[in-house]
Amino acid sequence: MKLDVFIIDAFSDRPLAGNPAGVCPLPEWLPDASMQAIASELNQTETVFFAPEDDDYRIRWFTPTREVDHIGHATLAAGHLVLSKLDPARSEVRFRTGDDYMLVRRDGDGVALDMAALPPRPARVTDEVVAALGARPVEALAAKHHLFVFETWQEVAGLRPDMAAVARLELPAVIVTAPCGVDGDGNPVDFVSRFFAPANGVPEDPVSGVSHCCLTPYWAWRLGKAHLVGQQLSARGGTIRCEDRGERVVLGGRAAISLQGVLSLPA
Encode pLDDT of 199-227 as tens digits: 888 899 999 999 999 999 999 999 999 99
Per-residue model confidence (pLDDT) at position 185: 80
Q: Is 151 tagged catalytic?
A: no
Model pTM greater than 0.95? no
Q: How far apart are CA 49 and CA 35, in angstroms?
A: 8
Domains delineated in the chain: 2-105 (3.10.310.10), 121-244 (3.10.310.10)
Strand-pairing partners, residue 68, are 61
Cβ pair 106, 250 in contact under 8 A: no
The strand pair at 100-107 and 92-97 is best described as antiparallel
Q: How far apart are CA 145 and CA 162, in angstroms?
A: 18
Per-residue model confidence (pLDDT) at position 171: 87
The strand pair at 146-149 and 174-179 is best described as parallel
Catalytic choice (46, 67, 128, 247) = 46
Residue ranges of the chain whose pLDDT lies below 70: none
Q: How far apart are CA 175 and CA 190, in angstroms?
A: 16
H or E element that contains 259: strand 255-264
DSSP conformation letters of 165-192: HHHHT--S-EEEEEE-SB-TTS-B-SEE
Q: How far apart are CA 132 and CA 163, in angstroms?
A: 7
Q: How far apart are CA 120 and CA 118, in angstroms?
A: 6
